[in-house]
C-alpha cells in the first residue's frame, strides 16, 4: 500500500510551519542516514533543489549531488545550479556536461516518444555511470512529492521517480518531501534560502527543450528555442506576468518561410509563443497577452535570435491542443 499523508499534518503555508518542517526533517534525515553517504540527481527543478538544500543543511558533505546537463536545459540553468549549490552552499556537487552525448543520440530522430525514451534512458545511464565511480553510497535521495505517490497509487505513472534505475543501484531511499504538495515545497524552498527564480520556476518537462524543438533536434534550432525562451521569460518578468501566468515558453518548429532582413530575402524559422493558465494541467486556457507586449517580444526575438524571421502566438486551449508540443 502506498504511503499516506498523516491526517494530523498541517498544510505548510508560511515561514513558521516551514521552519518547523525543516527542523523535523533535519533530525529525521540524520537519524536515517547516520554517517553514510547519500546520492542525489539534481536537475535544478523545484523538487530536487529543495531536497538538495534540505540535505545539505542536515548532512552537509555526506550528500553527493550529480547535475547532468543534457544540453536541453533553459538558458542559464546549469550555471544557476553550480552557483547556488557549489559556490553558495558549498555542496558536494558533480557536474556532468553530456550535451554532445545526448545530441549525438538524438540526431535525425523525429518521433516524439522515441526522443523522450532516448533522453530518459540516457539520463539514467549517465547517472548510473557517475554513481559507479563513487564509493560508500548507501542512500538515494529523491524529490518525490505527495502527488507522485497519489498518481503511482492510481496507476497513472510508475512509482515515484525510481523507475528504470539499474538493479546495482539498490540504495535505500531518502524522500523528505514525500508528504508535501507542490505549493508547500515552494514555501519550504524559500525558507531554506533558495532563490525565487528557482523555487517559483514554472513547470519544465523532463526531456527539457527537446519537446519544444519538434522534429529532429539540431543545435542551431535548439539554440533558437533557448534564446527566444529567455527573451520571453525576461519580458514577462518585466511586465509583471512572471508569477501570474502558469506556463509560458517558445517552440521552434522544423520548417522555414520566406521573410526579409536587412533588405534581403531571409528563409528562416518561426518562433511560436505558448502561454497558458491552468489549475490541474488537464485543461488550460490561453493568456491574453497585451498587443504592446507581444510587439516588444516579437521585435526582440526577430532582432536578437539567429535564424528566425517570424513570431507566432498559439491561441489554442487544451483541449484541443496539449500544453507542450510533443
Q: How many domains does the chain have?
A: 2
| Residues 70, 149 share a domain | yes
Asked whether 29 and 54 are in contact (CB, 8 A), the reply is yes
Domain boundary among 176, 199, 222: 199
| Residues 223, 171 share a domain | no
The pLDDT value recorded for residue 156 is 44
Domain boundary among 152, 182, 199: 199
Closest by alpha carbon to 232, among 188, 288, 189, 296? 296
43 occurs within a structural domain = yes
Distance CA 176, CA 144 (A): 8
56 occurs within a structural domain = yes
| Residues 109, 60 share a domain | yes
Domain with 106 in it: what CATH number?
3.40.50.620
| Residues 195, 86 share a domain | yes
Cell of 171: 540504495
The pLDDT value recorded for residue 275 is 97
265 occurs within a structural domain = yes
DSSP 97: E
The pLDDT value recorded for residue 182 is 87
| Residues 165, 40 share a domain | yes
- For 203-225, how does the pLDDT look when each residue is reduced to its tens digit (9 = 90+)? 788 899 999 999 999 999 999 99
5 occurs within a structural domain = no
The pLDDT value recorded for residue 201 is 84
Q: What is the mean pLDDT of each run of 10 residues along the chain (326 residues)?
A: 75 95 97 96 92 97 96 94 94 96 96 93 92 91 85 52 58 93 93 92 86 95 98 96 92 96 93 92 92 97 97 96 91
| Residues 85, 161 share a domain | yes
List, in sequence order, every beta strand (DSSP E) within 127-234: 137-141, 172-174
Asked whether 313 and 273 are in contact (CB, 8 A), the reply is yes
Cell of 84: 547556488
10 occurs within a structural domain = no
| Residues 298, 167 share a domain | no
| Residues 246, 164 share a domain | no
Domain that holds residue 125: 15-199
Percent of the chain with pLDDT strictly greater than 70 = 93
User: CA of 142: how far to CAs of 64, 163, 173, 225, in Å?
Assistant: 12, 12, 7, 29
| Residues 258, 194 share a domain | no
Rg over alpha carbons for the chain, rounded to the nearest Å, is 21
Amino acid at each position: 500500500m502506498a504511503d499516506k499523508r498523516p491526517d494530523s499534518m498541517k498544510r505548510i503555508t508560511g515561514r513558521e510551519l516551514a521552519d518547523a518542517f525543516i527542523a523535523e526533517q533535519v533530525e529525521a534525515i540524520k537519524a536515517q542516514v547516520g554517517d553514510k553517504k547519500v546520492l542525489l540527481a539534481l536537475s535544478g527543478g523545484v523538487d530536487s533543489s529543495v531536497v538538495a538544500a534540505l540535505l545539505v543543511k542536515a548532512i552537509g558533505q555526506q550528500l553527493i549531488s550529480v547535475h547532468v546537463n543534457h544540453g536541453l536545459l533553459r538558458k542559464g540553468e546549469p550555471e544557476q545550479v553550480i552557483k547556488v549549490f557549489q559556490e553558495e552552499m558549498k555542496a558536494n556537487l558533480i557536474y556532468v556536461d553530456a550535451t554532445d552525448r545526448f545530441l549525438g543520440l538524438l540526431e535525425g530522430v523525429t518521433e516524439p516518444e522515441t526522443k523522450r525514451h532516448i533522453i530518459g534512458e540516457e539520463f539514467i545511464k549517465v547517472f548510473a555511470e557517475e554513481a559507479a565511480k563513487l564509493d560508500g553510497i548507501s542512500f538515494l535521495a529523491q524529490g518525490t512529492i505527495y502527488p507522485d505517490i497519489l498518481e503511482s497509487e492510481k496507476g497513472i505513472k510508475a512509482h515515484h521517480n525510481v523507475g528504470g534505475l539499474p538493479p546495482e543501484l539498490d540504495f535505500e531511499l531518502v524522500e523528505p518531501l514525500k508528504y508535501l504538495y507542490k505549493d508547500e515545497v515552494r514555501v519550504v524552498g524559500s525558507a531554506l534560502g533558495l532563490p525565487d527564480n528557482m523555487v517559483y520556476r514554472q513547470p519544465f518537462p523532463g526531456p527539457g527543450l527537446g519537446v519544444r524543438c519538434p522534429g529532429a533536434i539540431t543545435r542551431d534550432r535548439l539554440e533558437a528555442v533557448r534564446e527566444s525562451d529567455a527573451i520571453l521569460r525576461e519580458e514577462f518578468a518585466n511586465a509583471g506576468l512572471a508569477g501570474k501566468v502558469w506556463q509560458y515558453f517558445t517552440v521552434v518548429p522544423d520548417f522555414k518561410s520566406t521573410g526579409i532582413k536587412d533588405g534581403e530575402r531571409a528563409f528562416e524559422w518561426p518562433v511560436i509563443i505558448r502561454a497558458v493558465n491552468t489549475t490541474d494541467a488537464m485543461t488550460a486556457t490561453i493568456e491574453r497577452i497585451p498587443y504592446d507586449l507581444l510587439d516588444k517580444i516579437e521585435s526582440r526575438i526577430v532582432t536578437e535570435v539567429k535564424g528566425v524571421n517570424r513570431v507566432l502566438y498559439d491561441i489554442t486551449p487544451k483541449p484541443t491542443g496539449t500544453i507542450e508540443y510533443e
